[in-house]
Structure formats: C-alpha cells, structure tokens
A = this chain, B = another copy of it.
C-alpha cells in the first residue's frame, strides 16, 4: 500500500514483519543502500555507504544484517574470487533486475548481463524440476557465472 506521495513504503517491510524480525534503523539503512545501487557491494562497501548517514552503525551489524537478509531471501551473496563476499538485492520493487555475471579473471571486473537470460532461465527451471525430483531437493536458487578475460586485460598481453 504505497504512500500518497508516490514515494511508497519500503517494499520489504512486509517480508520482514512476516518473518518476525524487527525493523530497525540499521536494517533499513542497509536495505536502503542496497536498493540504491546496481553494484556488487562488499560488506565493507555497504558499511562505508551506511556510515555516511549513520556513523554509529558498526561493521558487525552490517555482517549480521547481510546474513539475515540472505537467509530471508532478500539478498544474494556472491563470490567473485577476490576473497570477499559481494551482496546484491535479489529483486527490485518490481522484481525487475534478474541478471547473471561475467567475471574477468584478470582484473576482477564483473559485468552484469541480461542477454540470453530468458533462455537460461527457462532451461534452469526445467533443470530445477528434474533435479528436485531426482534428488528430493527443494531448490531455491541458482548461480550462473562466466569467467574469462575482459577486453582490457586481453590487450594488456
């Protein structure tokens, strides 16, 4: 139920309350940061961004909250091979931003792509069904990443 001014309420409140978790300043701040970027933020990135508006919020809380958000399914956690975890909102307000990643093993750059997503997702859904049945798994999520050298790194040598 959006506000009259069109800014809308934080769309995640429902999901939060439904799980019996408290909606606190730090949690809202962290979700705010994540929802305003399309980058792949590390815990420290989130901390620094949150820190600007709420200097009192500590890194520990960032880690704990991110873990919680991952558990709830509001956030995805990625490993791009650089030794720190990256976090991304799993869906926008409109569930709009599904994408996969292209990771440069040279410089660590990560490119989001949405090309071929439809075919990929279709195949993934089929595969999910089959795997669920065969292994009696309840599949909740998938990960696809491609690795290689980006144009810059290729020309470097």
Residues of A within 8 A of B (CB): 77, 79, 81, 102, 104-105, 111, 113, 115-116, 119-120, 123, 126-128, 130-132, 134-151, 154
Contacts and interface: CB of A to CB of B under 8 A. Distances in A.
Nearest to A104: B137
Contacts of A77: 81
A143 B144 contact: yes
Contacts of A150: 135-137
A148 B138 contact: yes
Given A136-B150, A139-B148, A102 B120 contact: no
B140 A143 contact: no
B154 A148 contact: no
Nearest to A142: B146
